[in-house]
Structure 1
Amino acid sequence: MTENTFPVYTADAIVNFYRTEVLTGQEAKHFTKSDLTPVPKPEAVQTLYMRVLHLLYRFRPECHSMVPILENIQYPAYHEGATAIISVYTRMRQFLPMCLVYDFSLNDLLAPKKQKTLTILSGIMNFLHFRKQRMETTLEKQAKFRADMDRLQTYTRGNLEAEKKIEMLTTIPPEQQAEADELAAALSELQTTTMHEYQDVNAKNDSIAEWKTKIAEKTQKLAQVKVDVSSLKEDIGRLKSQIVESPEELKSQMEKMRENVKNIKNSIEETDERGVELQNMVQGVTHTEAEIQQMYSLLQDLESSMNSAKQRQEEHQELMAQYEKKQKELKNLCIEEGQLKRALGIKLDKECKQNIRRQKKREMKEQHVQDVLGQCNQIHQKREEMADKIQEISGETQQLKAKIKSLRDVCSKETGKAQALYDTLSTSMDELHKRIETHITDLRLNVTKTSANF
């Protein structure tokens, strides 16, 4: 008792807890601190234990005082006072180890002590707190399971709708299949033609760049030649003014100058012809650039269509990823459903076993009732035999007749009590059968509901 694994509460806390959580009605009003301290009242402690058993196991307090039929007792009325205490004692001995209290004795019911009673009530209080927390967690888990089942149904509906959308997006209708094939062929042709055009344009751009470099070099040479010619003219004028040359040298120089002028004219004509050719080439390049611009606009349209197709493909991939996630969640929920079905099967097996045990007990009770009826018949036969003997022996004294009458009265009373007990037991058995049938129907309805939900 000194080494408890639960806290020992004060008398005020225990009284407040049991008045609010366990006791109801007038019992809660009349239960006070004086029932536990300084000396606990046995009646209050016994009612507390009975209410705890009724709260946990649905065992009503009036059922404790019922004498079992299987016990062969001569005078059951003498045992009715002790049966309630013995019943509470046996059931508390079975219940208190769950509260980590192992030293419960019969003296704790008949003459309870303060510290021991407070310790036992603290252990029960701790167990009730734990039970309440577990019930809240189980209710939360049930609500979460129901929400998960609803979410699973919505996810399955979403998966079906996504599959339908994917089929709608991936499947091309037969009316547009020919147009799609034509567009694909035209797209491939455009790609090939644009590749060839790009190659031609690149080759023409390279040749234009080479001609531009050549023209720049020739223009530089012409400018240099013009500068040289101007410098030569200046030198010639200067030399003419200074030196009187011979006619032969002048002729040779003039011929050289004429040849140089002819060469320059020829080079100028060649450059002009080349410039005309380059202008024609530039016009062709502008025309090809316009065609390339048209092709570029077509390629932009194709690129936009390809981007839309890529977006659809990405949406398809996202939908497939969501579908795989939902499939995994569905598998997990199916596993949980299988576990719940197994637990439900185990519960149903236990209930079947309990029903079989109850049937056996019922058969044993019926057999016992038949045995009792047989014994009663034998007693009636013996009584008839004794009545015959009494009629034959009429010479006995009046005392024996008075004794016989008293014995007959006692027998009639006992038979009346037995009949009353038999009637009460039959009514209680009928009520028990009705409760079992209602419980079975409720279980079947719950099973059908759970199966429908699954």
Structure 2
Amino acid sequence: MTENTFPVYSADAIVNFYRTEVLTGQEAKHFTKSDLTPAPKPEAVQTLYMRVLHLLYRFRPESHSMVPHLENIQYSVYHEGATSIMIVYMRMRQFLPMCLIYDFSLNDLLAPKKQKTLTVLSAIMNFLHFRKQRMDMILEKQAKLRADMDRLQAYTKGNLEAEKKIEMLTTIPPEQQAEADELANALSELQATTMHEYQEVNAKNDNIAEWKTKIAEKTQKLAQVKVDVSNLKEDISKLKSQIVESPEELKSQMERMRENVKDIKNSIEETDERVVELQSMVQSVTHTEAEIQQMYNLLQDLESSMNNTKRRQEEHQELIAQYEKKQKELKNLCIEEGQLKRALGMKLDKESKQNIRRQKKREMKEQHVQDVLGQCNQIHQKREDMADKIQEISRETQQLKAKIQSLRDVCSKETEKAQSLYDTLSTSMDELHRRIEMHVVDLKHDVTKMSANF
């Protein structure tokens, strides 16, 4: 008792727990602390054990009193009282090793002690707490699995929709294919003509720059000539005031001046003609600039369409990235689902194997019990025969007393045989219980391994 791995609760805590968690209806109302202390009542303890077995294994309390219908059992009603106790005892011997109680005896049902009963009920209470906790964990895992399955379905649906959108964005409709080809051809032609116009404009700009430099030089020379003319006029005016010129020199000077004026007029006319040519070139340049502006507008429209195409391509890339991400999540979920399925399959396999072993042991035990009951029925039949003989001998005279004594000796021998059979039966039952305990220990070890793997 001092080496228990579970706490031993007080009587009040045990009563409150079993009234709320195990018992129902009138049984919960009538179950009190006086049923356990100071001396436990066998009926209350047996009722508790039956309700625990019904809660865990769905073994109804009325099923404990059912006697199997065998051919060699007479007056089966007489066996019902002992049968219910024995079945509860065997079921509890199978169940209590799971609660770490290994010394449960038949006396704990027929004449229970206070400390032992509280220890057993505390162990069962601890096991029920553990069972409730594990059931909550399993329900949480089931809910999480359902949520993961729903999320997986939503992800697969989203992936299918994304694939449809990607296919719709990447494929050009047949009615727009010709228009797209025309736009591509027009774009290539526009780029070629634009490059040619740019080259012509650059050449014209170079020519305009050269003519501007020439005009600047001509205007500079013209200004210099005007300055020279003005200087000459001043010099002439000064010379006129100082010297009386001869008519011949004056004529020669006038002729030279006329020639200079003609040269200046010719240069001015040439300059005007060059200016007209430059104005016509400027007009052509403005016309070319207007055409270039039109081309620029077309290029802007083309750039906007290219930006839209680029934006669609970026959306396409984002959708592809989301699709790959969803595929990875889907793959991870599939891996988790496979692991859960494998773990569940292993668990179900182990449970099926354990159930098969339990079924075999149960069948062996039932066969053994039936054999023992058959032997007991034979002994009972012999006792009835001997009782009939004793009744016949009682009607006879005193001379048959010796025979009666011998028959009594035979009855004592038969009882000794029955006692020996009972002893062998008890030893075999103890050996069977020891094997069951060893199997339960191995089963616990397997369960710990399985939980660690899980």
Where on the TM-score scale, by shorter chain, does this alignment land: which range?
A: 0.5 to 0.7
Using the TM superposition, give the Cα deviation of residue 46 of structure 1 relative to its aligned residue in structure 2, in angstroms. 5.6
Matches of 1:215 and 1:120, distance apart in 2: 123
Matches of 1:324 and 1:260, distance apart in 2: 90
Matches of 2:300 and 2:288, distance apart in 1: 18
Matches of 2:102 and 2:169, distance apart in 1: 75
Distance 1:213 1:46, change over 3 A: farther
Q: Deviations over 1:110-147 (max 9, x none)?
A: 21239x93x77666555544543443333233223223
Using the TM superposition, give the Cα deviation of residue 185 of structure 1 relative to its aligned residue in structure 2, in angstroms. 2.2
Distance 1:173 1:246, change over 3 A: same
Matches of 1:123 and 1:372, distance apart in 2: 32
1:265 equivalenced with 2:268 (yes/no): no
Q: Which residue of 1 aligns with 2:333?
A: 333
Q: Which residue of 2 aligns with 1:170?
A: 170
Q: Which has the higher contact order (CA 8 A, sep 6+)?
A: 2
Distance 1:322 1:28, change over 3 A: same
**Once the two structures are aligned, what percentage of the paired residues are identical?**
77
Matches of 1:96 and 1:253, distance apart in 2: 146
Matches of 2:368 and 2:253, distance apart in 1: 162
Q: Which residue of 1 aligns with 2:99?
A: 96
Measured on the aligned residues, the alpha-carbon RMSD in Å equals: 5.0
Using the TM superposition, give the Cα deviation of residue 300 of structure 1 relative to its aligned residue in structure 2, in angstroms. 2.8
Q: Deviations over 1:174-197 (max 9, x none)?
A: 454444333322221221111121
Matches of 1:382 and 1:362, distance apart in 2: 30
Helix, strand or coil for the counterpart of 2:172? coil
Distance 1:255 1:120, change over 3 A: farther
User: Which residue type is aligned with residue 83 of structure 1?
Assistant: M
Aligned residues: 386
Q: Which residue of 1 aligns with 2:299?
A: 299
Matches of 1:291 and 1:215, distance apart in 2: 28
Alignment of 1:227-376 (within 5 A): 227-230=227-230, 232-234=232-234, 236-237=236-237, 239-240=238-239, 242-244=241-243, 246-247=245-246, 257-258=257-258, 260-350=260-350, 352-353=352-353, 356-357=356-357, 360=360
1:111 equivalenced with 2:76 (yes/no): no
Matches of 1:365 and 1:6, distance apart in 2: 31
Distance 1:362 1:209, change over 3 A: same
Helix, strand or coil for the counterpart of 1:113? helix
Distance 1:213 1:16, change over 3 A: farther
Q: Deviations over 1:152-189 (max 9, x none)?
A: 22332332333233333333344544443333222212
Distance 1:265 1:318, change over 3 A: same
TM-score by length of 1: 0.65
CA contact (8 A) 2:49 2:88 kept: no
Alignment of 1:40-439 (within 5 A): 41=40, 43=42, 44=44, 47-48=47-48, 50-61=50-61, 80=83, 83=86, 86-87=89-90, 90-91=93-94, 93-97=96-100, 110-113=112-115, 117=118, 125=125, 128-230=128-230, 232-234=232-234, 236-237=236-237, 239-240=238-239, 242-244=241-243, 246-247=245-246, 257-258=257-258, 260-350=260-350, 352-353=352-353, 356-357=356-357, 360=360, 397=396
Matches of 1:111 and 1:50, distance apart in 2: 18
User: Which residue type is aligned with residue 137 of structure 1?
Assistant: M
Q: Which residue of 1 aligns with 2:27?
A: 27
Matches of 1:67 and 1:314, distance apart in 2: 80
Matches of 2:235 and 2:36, distance apart in 1: 144
User: Which residue type is aligned with residue 21 of structure 1?
Assistant: E
CA contact (8 A) 2:159 2:323 kept: yes
Q: Deviations over 1:44-102 (max 9, x none)?
A: 566545544443444445566778999xx9996785586367446524541223xxxx7
Q: Which residue of 1 aligns with 2:435?
A: none
User: Which residue type is aligned with residue 215 of structure 2?
Assistant: I
Helix, strand or coil for the counterpart of 1:300? helix
Helix, strand or coil for the counterpart of 1:349? helix
Helix, strand or coil for the counterpart of 1:172? coil
Matches of 1:402 and 1:40, distance apart in 2: 46
Matches of 1:188 and 1:11, distance apart in 2: 96
Matches of 1:183 and 1:336, distance apart in 2: 51
Q: Deviations over 1:306-363 (max 9, x none)?
A: 2332233223222222222222222223223322332343345346535654775687
TM-score by length of 2: 0.65
Distance 1:9 1:359, change over 3 A: closer
Matches of 2:135 and 2:145, distance apart in 1: 15
CA contact (8 A) 1:67 1:76 kept: yes
User: Which residue type is aligned with residue 289 of structure 1?
Assistant: E
Q: Which residue of 2 aligns with 1:416?
A: none
Distance 1:17 1:194, change over 3 A: farther
User: Which residue type is aligned with residue 114 of structure 2?
Assistant: P
Matches of 1:305 and 1:330, distance apart in 2: 36
Q: 152-161 vs 220-229, which deviates more?
A: 220-229
Matches of 1:84 and 1:61, distance apart in 2: 10
Distance 1:144 1:352, change over 3 A: closer
